[in-house]
Amino acid sequence: MYLHSKVIRTCLAIGLLSSCMILDAAPAQVSRTLEAGGKRVAVRIFGNSGPSVVFEAGRGEDSESFLQIARQLSRCGTVVLYDRPGTGSSGPRAEPVVLASTVADELDEALTRAFVHPPYILVGHSLGGLYVQAYARSRPRKVAAVVLIDATTPLEPPDTFVSTVLPRAGTTAAAEEAGVPESMAALRAGPPFPPVPLIVIAASDHNDTPAREALWQEVQARTAMLSPRGELVTVGGGHFVQTENLVVTAILDAATAAGYDTAACR
């Protein structure tokens, strides 16, 4: 296999790199496996300039749904997709309960070992949104902006928006679901959300009752108010809107508000 010279230089410079390949001649994609929290974590990095944009997937999911968006954004940023332990190409996770603080710690170590430099634009879908909120609250100086996509939030009334389809016992999804109540309580009691650009994308069609849909919108609006620079964007689709073009626009708007030049992606 013949690799682009820039990718070869990048591979040689990273001692922990277990694999490196280029899927697109431009921009480059570097894939690697590293250790974070004592677990094996698979990371893919697209592009090599501009703001660092980091994606966090939903409960028990890998990062594959963000792939097309990552390729689009890599024209103006350094985009990071990773699989949490127990998902995708990463190694297993043994804990029966996964806390948001644990995920934030693992993510921080993975980004450090991958030489992805802060501040980060964090993008979280569903439960991944709770995880990036935990990261932003615990490491505010490392965060430039946050985009939440129909995300779990500590402002939800307890036991209100619980999934009607429970994950199979013993799976990573079950362990992540088990950690939600304690994680929410910790975020409510912990440090405040930083005053960074915050865009909250809220879906309005979950096949639920009008009253519950309205309550979801209210909770998402209150989440946007966590930052004085927050904004609510309501969309007509369902929960899985993380692949839509509106997400790209929201990320670019958040990056622009944080002071980055996003012209190459518009």
pTM metric for this prediction: 0.88
Could you give the C-alpha distances from 28 to 10, 60, 90, 119, 255, in angstroms and in order? Answer: 10, 28, 21, 21, 21
pLDDT tens over the chain, length 266 residues? 223 323 333 333 333 433 343 334 445 689 999 999 999 999 999 998 999 999 999 999 999 999 999 999 999 999 999 999 999 999 999 999 999 999 999 999 999 999 999 999 999 999 999 999 999 999 999 999 999 999 999 999 988 887 778 899 999 999 999 999 999 999 999 899 999 999 999 998 888 899 999 999 999 999 999 999 999 999 988 888 887 889 999 999 999 999 999 999 98
Q: Which two tokens stand for residue 248?
A: 């790209």
Domains of the chain listed by start with CATH number: 34-265 (3.40.50.1820)
